[in-house]
Amino acid sequence: MAKKTTNQDQAAAAPNLNPRDQHTLEQLVALADAVVRSAQSGVDPTLKIPTRTLSNVRYNRTKRIIEMGSARSDRQLFNLNQAKSYMQTLLVASGAKKLIAQGKTTSLRGMFYLSKHTIEGTREETFDDQSESDGIIEDLEVAINVLREELHLYAKNAGAMVGEITLIDSGDTIDCTRMGSGGYSIPSIVEPEVVQFAECNAKFVLHVEKDTVWRRFNEDKFWKTHQCILTHGGGQPPRGVRRLLYRLHHELKLPVYCLLDNDPWGYYIYSVIKQGSINLAYESKRMAIPEARFLGLRSKDFVECGLSNSVKIQLNETDRKRAKQIAKYPWFAHKKAWQKEIEQLLENGFKLEVEALISKDISYVTEEYTPTRLENEDWLD
């Protein structure tokens, strides 16, 4: 029995597919067709997957973002080390196909359970834990060049937003000035199909690292006094937050300022927002904000703000190594201000958290520190 249905039949059979889903589905079917073809011609079935490692990313100086290179690695069914991940890739593809065909979305964890079962006749599980399926999902994204959202997958919500903006999320109007103390929880899929901007009075976006700092700003109604949007990403911002920042910046032309800890981790978060991450280099073009600015905390702040010794946290060996690595990133390497900043951090021998400013005054960060920096345009770029 040969292949009975054509791609068109297949796509048409699914309920109300929008063009994006149609495209994704075609890609998935093409992937499966390739397996059938190699089986028929007796060739070793192989997937070509762009490599997601540091060696395969490069910094595009004109666009000022990280881009993925052209290196691809083969994933073969008949290779002892790759057989299982080959199988897993197709399982995830089949899972995604089901989601799209039924017009539903699920979480990464949902996909893990959707594809996980015991292999017939063995005690082996197709997936042992979620980290395996998460990696395979990213592989599939790059292999057929679609985005995670297009596979109908989302991550758990992380990050919150308040401020002078009104948006429409899945048809519900959300006024971000009336979000109480919790704020609007940023979903992981914020594509225009899901989230539209209705009205915006904000002049800029202030992105802070953590929930605790964000609460201070929200409680002090910083967004009201300074007419802005306030977001946080719970540490390293997830895709949804980054994508939303990107859209706020590009569609509403709002400048983005970041208030992060004064440590290598803070620098790296800024680097990801600005240039994109190595792992998701293929998404940089729709996430990276090269114009984002680093407001603080800076290595000079300990002296400048007159902080007490007790707020210092000693740098450990990994911190030092990481800082030196970051200093060598091509997008920092030629910036004198950044080199000086990192040099000073190493010289200080300690790091500072944004919360440390509380030692001056509870609202020092909202009433003194941030307004002054913004006013003096005292930031790093």
Partner 1 sequence: MAASQRDISVSEFFAKNRHLLGFDNPRKALLTTVKEAVDNALDACEEAGILPEVWIRITPTGENRFRVDVQDNGPGILKKQIPLIFGKLLYGSKFHRLRMSRGQQGIGISAAGMYGLLTTGKPVRILSKISRTKPGHYYAIQIDTKRNEPEILNGRGEGDEIPVGERGRQAIEKLGIDWVDVDHGTLVTIELEARYQRGRGSVDEYLEQTALANPHVTLHYVDPEGKATTYARVTETLPPEPKEIKPHPYGVELGRLVSMLKETKATTMMQFLTSSFSRVSGNVARRICDAAKVSPRASPRKIGRHEADELYKAIQTTKIPAPATDCISPIGEDLLLRGLHKLVPGEFYAAATRPPAVYRGNPFVIEVGLAYGGGPATHRVSRETLVELISQTDARTLRQFLTSTFDGVGVQAADKILHEAGLRRRTAPAKLKDAEITRLHEAMQNVNLSDGQTMTVLRYANRVPLLFQAGACAITQTVMATNWRSYGLTQSRGSLPTGPVTIMVHMASVWVPFTSESKEAIASYPEIQKELRLALQAVGRKLGMYLRRRIRVKHEGERRNLFLRYLGEVATAVSEINQTDREELYQRLLKVAKRKTRQADLQFDDRGRPIEQDADDFGGGVLIVGDDGAPRAAETGVAAETPK
Provide the annotated active-site residues.
113
Distance CA 259, CA 375 (A): 15
In the bound complex, what is the minimum distance in angstroms from residue 100's beta carbon to partner 1?
A: 11
Whichever of 150 and 164 has its CB closer to partner 1, that residue is 150
In the bound complex, what is the minimum distance in angstroms from residue 2's beta carbon to partner 1?
A: 7
Q: Which two tokens stand for residue 12?
A: 């048409």
Helix residue spans in 312-369 (DSSP H): 317-327, 330-333, 336-348, 364
Whichever of 54 and 119 has its CB closer to partner 1, that residue is 119
Distance CA 352, CA 364 (A): 15
Applying CB under 8 A, the span of 106-114, 122-130, 198-206, 283-291 interacting with partner 1 comes to: 122-130
Distance CA 236, CA 120 (A): 40
Whichever of 10 and 166 has its CB closer to partner 1, that residue is 10
Applying CB under 8 A, the span of 84-92, 138-146, 158-166, 243-251 interacting with partner 1 comes to: 84-92
Distance CA 356, CA 340 (A): 22
How close are the terminal C-alpha atoms of the chain, in Å?
62
Distance CA 102, CA 90 (A): 18
Among 8, 62, 120, 172, binds partner 1 (CB under 8 A): 120
Report the candidate in 237, 68, 247, 239 with the shortest Cα–Cα distance to residue 149.
239
Among 12, 83, 168, 198, binds partner 1 (CB under 8 A): 83
Angle between helices 130-143 and 83-102 (to 10 degrees): 80
Instruction: Determine if 35 is a binding residue for partner 1 (CB under 8 A).
Output: yes
In the bound complex, what is the minimum distance in angstroms from residue 24's beta carbon to partner 1?
A: 12
- Which string of x and - marks every residue 123-142 that binds partner 1 (by CB under 8 A)? -x-x----------------
In the bound complex, what is the minimum distance in angstroms from residue 44's beta carbon to partner 1?
A: 7
Query: How many chain residues touch partner 1 (CB under 8 A)?
Result: 40
Instruction: Determine if 322 is a binding residue for partner 1 (CB under 8 A).
Output: no
**CB-CB contact of 318 with 268 (8 Å):** no
Under 8 Å CB-to-CB from 210, ≥6 apart: which residues? 232, 234, 235, 354
Applying CB under 8 A, the span of 102-110, 119-127, 137-145, 209-217 interacting with partner 1 comes to: 119-127
Find the angle CA(354)-CA(358)-CA(360) to the nearest 5 degrees: 120
Instruction: Determine if 100 is a binding residue for partner 1 (CB under 8 A).
Output: no
Among 20, 64, 72, 84, binds partner 1 (CB under 8 A): 84
Among 49, 52, 66, 97, binds partner 1 (CB under 8 A): 97
Q: How far is CA 110 from CA 132, 138, 152, in A?
A: 13, 15, 11
Whichever of 87 and 147 has its CB closer to partner 1, that residue is 87
- Which string of x and - marks every residue 40-69 that binds partner 1 (by CB under 8 A)? x-xxxx------------------------
Whichever of 77 and 205 has its CB closer to partner 1, that residue is 77
Q: Which two tokens stand for residue 351?
A: 């790091």
In the bound complex, what is the minimum distance in angstroms from residue 19's beta carbon to partner 1?
A: 20
Distance CA 305, CA 343 (A): 19
Beta strands 293-296 and 256-259: pairing type? parallel
In the bound complex, what is the minimum distance in angstroms from residue 37's beta carbon to partner 1?
A: 10
Angle between helices 83-102 and 108-115 (to 10 degrees): 110
Among 58, 69, 74, 78, binds partner 1 (CB under 8 A): 78
**CB-CB contact of 298 with 350 (8 Å):** no
Applying CB under 8 A, the span of 81-89, 162-170, 317-325, 342-350 interacting with partner 1 comes to: 81-89
Report the candidate in 351, 243, 267, 374 with the shortest Cα–Cα distance to residue 301.
351
In the bound complex, what is the minimum distance in angstroms from residue 7's beta carbon to partner 1?
A: 8
Among 4, 178, 253, 334, binds partner 1 (CB under 8 A): 4
Question: What residues make contact with partner 1 under the rule CB under 8 A?
Answer: 1-5, 7, 10, 28-29, 31-33, 35-36, 38-40, 42-45, 77-78, 80, 83-84, 86-87, 90-91, 93-94, 97-98, 119-122, 124, 126
